[in-house]
């Protein structure tokens, strides 16, 4: 029998709702959401070897390199719960990471790739109003006054200034869109309209997954 576990990569620009949708899908399907950002933050707080290496890199104002990020994901995918499926949020972000991910999952069913598309104007509006937890870094849903995970106070991210937001979106278009092109020709790739209410985006993602079930490389 074919492997029916869902192994999904969630793509999209900052503010597209990747984290929200990844967490919702993971919860609904009983599979882990694997967020490299969350893992890095936990590693830094826990002062692990990876955390210390990542902290030193970030403190120097540099991006965490492919080797560190790939190592984190490799270790996480080797854990037993990932065998039932997973949702990757924030990985891959480079072509090296995407190519390595193919190697890591080559003995499993093909990855399902969902790209959440949102117009730039909507992204700017969302990001300029976004708040995160000052304690754990979780992005807060609209309408709440405390972090739903840990109860911490909410603050606006320092890089959610409108001009900085536009620059970040330009960087995404320049660098990360190559990842979309890497996946676009696969039969398991789907684009989803992210400029609609959260429940409708979730329904479209579920429909996208259903439409590629049974598709194999």
Active site residues: 18, 93, 130, 157, 168
CA distance 101 to 127: 29
What's the chain's length in residues?
217
| Separation in Å, CA 167 to CA 13, 41, 110, 123, 202 | 12, 24, 34, 12, 28
Name, in order, each residue with C-beta under 8 angstroms of 103's C-beta and a sequence gap of 6 or more: none
Longest Cα–Cα distance in the chain: 52
DSSP conformational letter for 146:
B
């Amino acid at each position: 029998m074919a492997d029916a576990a869902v192994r999904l990569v969630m793509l999209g620009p900052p503010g597209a709702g990747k984290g929200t949708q990844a967490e919702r899908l993971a919860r609904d399907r009983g599979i882990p959401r694997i967020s490299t950002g969350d893992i890095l933050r936990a590693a830094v707080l826990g002062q692990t070897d990876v955390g210390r290496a990542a902290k030193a890199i970030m403190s120097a104002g540099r991006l965490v390199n492919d080797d560190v990020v790939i190592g984190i994901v490799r270790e996480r995918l080797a854990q037993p719960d990932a065998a039932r499926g997973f949702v990757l949020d924030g990985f891959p972000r480079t072509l090296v990471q995407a190519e390595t991910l193919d190697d890591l999952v080559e003995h499993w069913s093909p990855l399902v790739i969902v790209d959440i598309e949102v117009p730039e104007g909507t992204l700017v509006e969302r990001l300029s109003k976004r708040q995160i937890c000052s304690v754990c870094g979780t992005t807060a849903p609209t309408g709440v006054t405390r972090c739903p995970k840990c109860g911490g106070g909410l603050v606006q991210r320092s890089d959610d200034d409108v001009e900085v937001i536009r620059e970040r979106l330009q960087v995404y278009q320049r660098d990360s869109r190559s990842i979309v092109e890497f996946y676009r020709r696969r039969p398991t790739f789907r684009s989803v309209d992210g400029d609609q209410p959260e429940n409708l985006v979730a329904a479209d993602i579920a429909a996208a997954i259903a439409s590629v079930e049974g598709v194999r490389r």
